[in-house]
Structure 1
Amino acid sequence: QSHGPFGLVGLVRYAGNRLLSLRDGRAESERETKRSTEERMKLLAIRMQNAGTLQEWTAAATELDKLEGNDQWKLDESTGDYGDYHPELIRTRLAELDEARTNLDIESMVYLIRTHLSRDLGGMGNMDLYRHSYIGTKTLVERYVSSAIQTIELLVSSSTYETEVEPKDLLEDMLYARQSFGRSALLLSGGATFGMSHIGVLKTLYEAKLLPRIISGASAGSIVCAVLCTRTDEEIPALIESFPNGDLGVFQGQNESWPQHLRSLLTQGNWSDIANLKRVMRGWIGDITFQEAYNRTRRVCNISVSSASMFELPRLLNYITAPNVMMWSAVTASCTVPLVFQVSPLMTKDPVTGEYIPWNLTPHEYIDGSVDGDLPMTRLADLFNINHFIVSQVNPHIVPFLNKDDQLYPAATPGKPRPTRRTDWFSSATSLVMDEGLHRLQTLADMGLLPNLITKLRSILMQEYLGDITIFPAISIRDAHLVLSNPTADFMMRNCLLGERATWPKLSRIRDRLAIEVALDQAVHTLRARAVFTKSQEDLRRSVHAHAYWMSASSMGPVQWVTQPPSSGAITPEERPIWRRRGSAGTVQHVATRHGKLFPESEEDDSEEERVLELRPNRLGVAKPQLKRGSKSYDHIRGRQQADESSSD
């Protein structure tokens, strides 16, 4: 019979459950709970992969961390197998910061900030610490970063005008602390149209308030870098919104076709006209120079260009090395891929006349910045004290061979081990092939076979393409044919989202390594403003009180400026009031000579404090002595000779 609790179907089900219980050691309800949990984990993994916003990704990742038990791992402060990770040292530094902050010990806080802050304290920057959860890492590391930020903010708040802490002294300490801690830079690689994925990376970092002020770009990355570094913080949201729909016709004009490109390649040696790229860049950023862009936004734009010759070194253009170079010309030079664009010279703007002239009067040619310096980390470190590099890498010929195991990926099958690192044999084989290829290329170059071309090819293969944190926006094979085509609005939106999705898993690591640096930058900015304007605030208060007293005194009668109490005698020129301009600003102060005092004619109803108001003039300084003629000048010697001749006569 098939009916009733003891029918054939029920008997089979009962037997199956008993067998499963004996195998797994779980009851039927426990197995059902496990099955539903695994299905939920699969669903969350799919949501993470297809998330459209950071909020959606964060919600799915947080729940998945909880289901996989990663939250318990975060609370565990044991050492574990994480190389140079030492939680004892982090715990000690955390206790010192908390104690100094609790006791309001300014000297201890300044000492700890200047001497103990480090980006890799106790090995907390170890990559393995970020491969056990989708969001965050050990709670101890996050507590240390938070405590350091709170200590910096407390020091800044304690330097107000009413306290004994001088802003200029604390500013000096913060500058030393920032110098010791180091700075971060964002490097945008080349990659033709795939470089538009950098927009998504920049958008995510900007919205998370983790966008470094120092940004470098090469080839396609220089386009994004230049456009961003000419915008202020208030203009960036509008730029991100409008950039995918803007004019990006860098490869071809509206009426150009592939036969025209082919004819241009055969006759002129280039596939596309560089005039299209110039038009697009001048439309986005105008004729602004590196120095003007830095003065406007305080962002440091760096554009890498390579020399067409094998005997010249690559250059890094910025407001220090090339202040008057127009940024659009630097971008066109950095995007000059051989056989794609013709060579374009660097143009400068004369700071006096505004005239546009070539940067090098000699016929020196620059080509694609990715050839010799896709990621100019050494040069950036020398110029700006950078010791931490965030890289957005989209070079299609490089990305497939790079290691991407610095984050946790959802398991294809929950409950089963997931691959974490590439096998040793693959890395060894790749390294062997690379070394052998470089050796063969060097042999061909030594034989004189196309030495310039082979040298540039070796440079491409030998470069470092990874940073301290490397973001890999996904590169779709279906878009390979669009690598040298004008990006459409749909292509831009899709690649922007790919850049965002690639950045979300790295946000926790970026935040832990940049948050202290951002706090130090903000502290320096705030303290510098206080140190500069503190004296001006004193003068402003004095001027306000003087104006208030002037108005009250004017209502009682005419006012006169004197250096002594009023008398019947005439006022000498030395006693006459003068107009003196302040050296620190453009305002003019009306002050009496030396210790001028304001005496109203009617003083009967005024208090002693209101009757006399001393306006102390600013220091005028000591006048420079007049220059004397040198004893060996021509006129002096000639005069002495004439004097000797006349005396001899």
Structure 2
Amino acid sequence: MSSDALLTADYLSTPTPTSQDRDPSKLADPSAPPSPVVSTTSSRVRKVSALSDFAPVNLKVKKRRRKDKALHGRGKAPRHDWTFVLFRWPLLFFIFLFIAAQFGFYVFLRQLVNVKEWISAWRGKKGLLRKKLRASRNYEEWKEAALVLDEYLHFDEWKKEDEDNFYDWKLVRKVHRSLKTLREKNDVRACMGVLETCIRSNFAAVESPRLYSETFLGTKDLIEAYFEEQEKALEFIRESPDLKIDEKKRFFKAANTNLGITALCLSGGASFGYYHFGVVKALLDAALLPRVITGTSAGGLIAALCCTRKDAELRLLLVPELANRITACEESIGIWTKRIWKTGARFDPILWARKASRPSFDSEGSMTFKEAYLRTGRILNISVIPADRHSPTRLLNYLTAPDTLIWSALLASAAVPGILPPVVLMQKLRDGSAVPWNWGSRFKDGSLRVDVPIQALHSYFNVSAPIVSQVNPHVHLFFFAPRGSAGKPVAHRKGKGWRGNFILSAAEQWLKHELTKNFKLIRDLELLPQLLGQDWSSVFLQRFDGYITIWPRTRFWDWIRILSDPDPHELERMMRVGQLVTWPKLRMIANREKIERQIYLGRQFVRKSVKSKAAPPPTETHAAAVWPWAPLPSNFYYPATEWFRSSSFSGYRRRTGIYPQQLSFILQKQTNSHFSVKFRRIDAKGAQPPSGPASITGCST
């Protein structure tokens, strides 16, 4: 048969093979005469019926039974152990019955601790001072009330004593004295050697939460002085002329690696997530909002709002009137009940996509992770998991998904089974159009596996101090600090006792560990069936805390309105609660942030020094800005050629047709706040034509 015949032949009809055709000996004999080609119109011809191109022709395949299909559809092989089938459901029933009894006793025990603390600790003047502390309207009022409460309870005496069992006070005092002495002697290299040793995460346990849980404000005076001296020493090294740029570069890079950075992690929690607004506002007002922010589900929405806006825009946004723009749950009960009946999900992903992609959500309407980073300098992270339960968790940011649209990531992070179906992430192309990302794979809520992606944050951005704002309704009930927490000491025995008493605190810890043990047993024995196509066995077994954990006090009414939008009055209350629980942690955050900021400024100084060293020395043909009206230091020079890359010169060139080679720049004048640059057009020989000069002006700080 010719090649043309092969190309044009109808292969929908194939001759039925005979027993001789299937004879292996005949197939292996090369001398056997070729079989005649049977006409495709023969009556013996019938259509091919095969599972795939690799299946034998006319092979009869048994239809898969419905039971086996259901098992394989869930991704589980059928079990042959009859004891598992026999005892699975009774065992699961008794474990859940035991968990319910333990949980009821746990709730009763927590209420008993609260009542005992109110009776024995917060009566009389102490109670009045604590009410004043909780009634503070801003951080300054709160600090004043906290100092008064520390003085009344004599907690301030503990600050003045250097000795304590929870940190190496001798080493801290020695390092503090050494840094101060070396800085006063102007011995920069010895000072740098000491800092290379002590710039570590939790060096000598100075960042231990126990050292901040003995008072309402601050910690020991020695630790406060240690952080201040470390800050001065880093500034001393940065500004010292005795060190080369390469030495400073190596030092600050190593310091950044050894110490790590801080990140803000906002948990999920449906409408409980609006408490995050108060946490963010407290950190923003104190200038302590980290550059790395991650969020899951409801926390992802707040994280995206923070990372797509600059500080000034964010301050204008975080007001009670923001509730008027929150319309995720505005549908009536009749609409979403019909949707649940038809689709199995309460919310419509298309409707949410339209709301999330509006310009009112982010500054441009359809911003990507990379665009948000370039605009604000903050790194947004959204945690999602693929719909396939075997695939690992994904942390979306400007490194892993730079062109992914933020609004699509937020929908995926909120896709809880029964609430929102899994969605496809969208990617923005260069022409502005959007296409599916990752070959159209679907993703859902990351909090089902990893609510706080601490390990991924450490891998990508060297995060060693995660600040976790935890509002998940099934988690924050179990947060209990028996010895107090940062800024919230135990009220009796001068902060040295246990909440309630030792017996109640021990019972609380025992019950909590018993609950965790039972959930691990259910997970390891695979007793829990998959509900709505999702494995729920790890929901209670994740890590939900961090370096600092903030958990707002919720109300029973929050459970009733867990899928409702807040009004301005309710949002104001939730923001205030978030601020009140964040203020006690600010001193602990601020002490670490001092060191991180100095390291960051040191690295910025090195980068600018390297750039200025690579550029030609400043002359009168150098302008003092990368582009006009750029805020820059008055003593910082940039080559005038850098201005040619700016949008201002591009517009000037389009209007005049003048290219950089035809311009001569002269720095006219420069003060502390303004500069003026005049340029003239020149001909090929360098002579200036009589046309009038044009000029640009800018300002510098």
Q: TM-score range by the shorter chain?
A: 0.7 to 0.9
Aligned-partner Cα distance in 2 for 1:51–1:414: 26
SS in structure 2 of the partner of residue 460 of structure 1: coil
Deviation at 1:526, TM superposition (A): 3.3
Aligned to 2:207: 125
Aligned-partner Cα distance in 2 for 1:311–1:397: 25
Aligned-partner Cα distance in 2 for 1:591–1:199: 52
SS in structure 2 of the partner of residue 541 of structure 1: coil
SS in structure 1 of the partner of residue 537 of structure 2: helix
More deviation, 273-282/212-221: 273-282
The question of 1:300 aligning with 2:387 is answered: no
Q: TM-score, normalised by structure 2?
A: 0.68
1:384 pairs with 441, 454, 461, which one? 461
Query: Counterpart of 2:545 in structure 1: which amino acid?
Result: L
Query: Unpaired segments of 5 or more residues in structure 1?
Result: 1-36, 546-579, 593-649
Aligned-partner Cα distance in 2 for 1:477–1:306: 30
Contact kept? 2:264, 2:292, Cα under 8 Å: yes
Query: Unpaired segments of 5 or more residues in structure 2?
Result: 1-121, 624-638, 650-659, 665-701
Aligned-partner Cα distance in 2 for 1:361–1:544: 49
Contact kept? 1:251, 1:277, Cα under 8 Å: no
Contact kept? 1:389, 1:468, Cα under 8 Å: yes
Distance 1:313 1:243, change over 3 A: farther
For residues 194-213 of structure 1, the aligned pairs below 5 Å read: 194-213=272-291
Deviation at 1:522, TM superposition (A): 2.4
Aligned to 1:471: 550
Aligned-partner Cα distance in 1 for 2:208–2:597: 21
Distance 1:152 1:270, change over 3 A: same
For residues 455-534 of structure 1, the aligned pairs below 5 Å read: 456-534=535-613
Contact kept? 2:201, 2:258, Cα under 8 Å: no
1:271 pairs with 318, 342, 346, which one? 346
The question of 1:374 aligning with 2:456 is answered: no
Aligned-partner Cα distance in 2 for 1:229–1:591: 40
Aligned-partner Cα distance in 1 for 2:148–2:178: 34
For residues 282-301 of structure 1, the aligned pairs below 5 Å read: 282-283=357-358, 284-285=361-362, 286-301=365-380
Aligned-partner Cα distance in 1 for 2:427–2:533: 32
Distance 1:451 1:336, change over 3 A: closer
Aligned-partner Cα distance in 2 for 1:238–1:73: 41
Deviation at 1:377, TM superposition (A): 0.6
Contact kept? 2:519, 2:540, Cα under 8 Å: no
Larger fraction in helix:
1
Contact kept? 1:115, 1:177, Cα under 8 Å: no
Aligned-partner Cα distance in 2 for 1:427–1:314: 31
Deviation at 1:112, TM superposition (A): 2.6
Query: Counterpart of 1:273 in structure 2: which amino acid?
Result: D
Deviation at 1:178, TM superposition (A): 0.9
For residues 57-68 of structure 1, the aligned pairs below 5 Å read: 57-68=142-153
Deviation at 1:430, TM superposition (A): 2.0
Aligned-partner Cα distance in 2 for 1:590–1:96: 59
For residues 225-244 of structure 1, the aligned pairs below 5 Å read: 225-241=303-319, 244=322
Aligned-partner Cα distance in 2 for 1:298–1:406: 32
Distance 1:410 1:385, change over 3 A: closer
Give me the CA root mean square deviation: 2.8
Aligned to 1:617: none
Aligned to 2:131: 46
Count of residue pairs brought into register by the alignment: 506
Deviation at 1:228, TM superposition (A): 0.6
Aligned to 2:634: none
Aligned to 2:618: 540
Q: TM-score, normalised by structure 1?
A: 0.73
1:217 pairs with 275, 279, 295, which one? 295
Per-residue CA deviations over 1:476-527 (Å, capped at 9, x if unaligned) read 1122211101222122111111110010111122122332112211222233
Deviation at 1:412, TM superposition (A): 7.0
1:425 pairs with 464, 483, 507, which one? 507
Aligned to 2:186: 104
Per-residue CA deviations over 1:295-326 (Å, capped at 9, x if unaligned) read 11111100001222221111100000001101
Deviation at 1:531, TM superposition (A): 2.9
SS in structure 1 of the partner of residue 403 of structure 2: coil
Per-residue CA deviations over 1:323-365 (Å, capped at 9, x if unaligned) read 1101111011101121112322100001x32220000324x32
Deviation at 1:165, TM superposition (A): 4.0
SS in structure 1 of the partner of residue 404 of structure 2: coil
Aligned to 1:148: 230
1:259 pairs with 330, 334, 337, which one? 334
Aligned-partner Cα distance in 2 for 1:236–1:375: 24
Contact kept? 2:279, 2:582, Cα under 8 Å: yes
Deviation at 1:382, TM superposition (A): 0.8
1:248 pairs with 311, 314, 326, which one? 326
Distance 1:513 1:95, change over 3 A: same
Query: Counterpart of 1:236 in structure 2: which amino acid?
Result: L
Aligned to 2:86: none
Aligned-partner Cα distance in 1 for 2:379–2:264: 11
Aligned-partner Cα distance in 2 for 1:232–1:165: 35
